[in-house]
Amino acid sequence: MNNKFRWFFGLLVLIAVSLFLYSYFVDDSLLAKRKSPIDTVKLIENDLVFEVVYNRPSKRGRDIFGGLVPYNKVWRTGANEATTFKCSKPIKIGNDSLPAGKYTLWTIPNDSTWQVMFNSKQYPWGVDAKMNPLREPEFDVVHISVPVERLNQIVEQFTIGFNNTLDSISLTMAWDNTKIGIPLKTFD
């Protein structure tokens, strides 16, 4: 039995070394940095916690809104996995209430306004094999329209953040020369 274990362990080590060498010298996709790295953004204020997990694609000289991200079509709001938004307490977004929990975040960009949807279903990926968004509208909890702000400087990498000023919180998204802000209000 001891010889079988050594043989099996040796085979596993050989496979692991082979995969490492192959990925290093031939196909560096296993070790390469992601073109759209994953990021987490949090806002913590007393017992209120907001968290967004998303992937950050870069402009890399491309036309973004109205080009790479078509107008009037659902966008996964980032790249790769579906973007998620978590809130520790119920909040108000526009005229709608969003219960505490975890949601996927979807948008429909347009030149002057964006539609933003908070969806209760968790999707393992943002799009299917044909690059169609996986969002199922029947699971939308909140749907809000927000205006577009034009920026004077180009934002190279898609960025989500929180703006917390003067007792007002907004979830912001910026990329290329476009920025939006989604107002978030607590019930306190």
Beta partners for 91? 98, 186
pLDDT digits (tens, 9 = 90+) for 9-31: 777 777 777 766 666 555 445 55
Q: Which two tokens stand for residue 78?
A: 């980032």
pLDDT digits (tens, 9 = 90+) for 39-65: 999 999 889 999 999 999 999 999 999
Q: What is the pLDDT of residue 143?
A: 97
Average pLDDT of the residues of the chain: 89
Q: Which two tokens stand for residue 24?
A: 């290093």
